[in-house]
Amino acid sequence: MKKLKLEFNNLGKDYIIQIDGKVENLKKQKGKRGKQIVEIETDKDAVNLSIKRIVPIGAKKWFWWQVLFYFVSVFGILDRNYNKKCYVIDYASTITLQEDINIKVLIHNSLKVEKVVELKTEATVEEHVNQIKVDKIAKKRLKGYTAVKIISWILLALGLGFLILNTLL
């Protein structure tokens, strides 16, 4: 059995890690500041690694989820903050395994770098895709959602002000 250990630093919730098409769960390491680890054992000589970053507001059914969270989060006041850059990362590679391999994965969230995902390892890595791009649809949706949130806050403030004035008079 060959062991593969991937080590990430402060990886967000928007990332999907797949090894040979199977989604892997990240485990936080105790005592280490923000480190997350994926460990697998396999009999194969090579594995396919895929790392993707998605933007939740760019998903297919985003509208219905957003409507639900909009009301649950008190008209968007307690809603999560979305990344305004709307970067989508796509990385795919094949890693040739030896006995035990430790790989440190570095992810750069910038359009200016040549390699978005860097693997620090002694193993042989054949990269297929390593790119970052802006999700234009998600960016457009985020602008619209922000406008709706601001308008609803103004209407909520006006409605509360109207209610307070009516109760005082």
- 51-101 pLDDT, tens digit each: 998 888 877 888 888 888 878 887 777 777 777 888 899 999 999 988 888
Domain that holds residue 11: 2-168
Q: Is 139 helix (H, G, I), strand (E, B) or coil?
A: helix
Mean pLDDT of 119-142: 90
Distance of alpha carbon 10 from alpha carbon 146, whole angstroms: 27
How many domains, the chain? 1
pLDDT tens digits, 4-16: 888 887 677 788 8
Helical residues (DSSP H) of the chain, grouped into ranges: 62-72, 136-168
Tokens of 130: 């390593």
Please determine, for residue 29, whether its predicted confidence score (pLDDT) is greater than 70. Answer: no
Q: Which residue has the tokens 């957003």?
A: 66
**Residue 130 pLDDT:** 92
- Of the candidates 96, 90, 93, 91, the one whose C-alpha atom is nearest the C-alpha of residue 4 is 96
Question: Is beta strand 100-107 parallel, antiparallel or unpaired with respect to 2-9?
Answer: parallel
pLDDT of residue 1: 83
Q: What pLDDT shows up at residue 110?
A: 82
In angstroms, rounded to a whole number, what is the distance separating the alpha carbons of residues 39 and 24? 9
Report phi then psi at 151, rounded to 5. -65, -40
Residue 58 vs residue 166, higher pLDDT: 166
Residues 6+ apart with CB under 8 A from 99: 2, 3
- Average pLDDT of 158-168? 92
pLDDT at 162: 94
CB 117 within 8 A of CB 91: yes
* pTM for the full predicted model: 0.79
Residue scoring higher pLDDT (30 or 121): 121
Beta strands in 43-145 (DSSP E): 46-53, 87-96, 100-107, 117-120, 124-134
User: pLDDT averaged over the chain?
Assistant: 85
What's the whole-number mean pLDDT along residues 104-108? 89
What is the sign of the dihedral through the CA atoms of 73, 52, 8 and 43? positive
Q: Which pLDDT score is estimated for 31?
A: 52
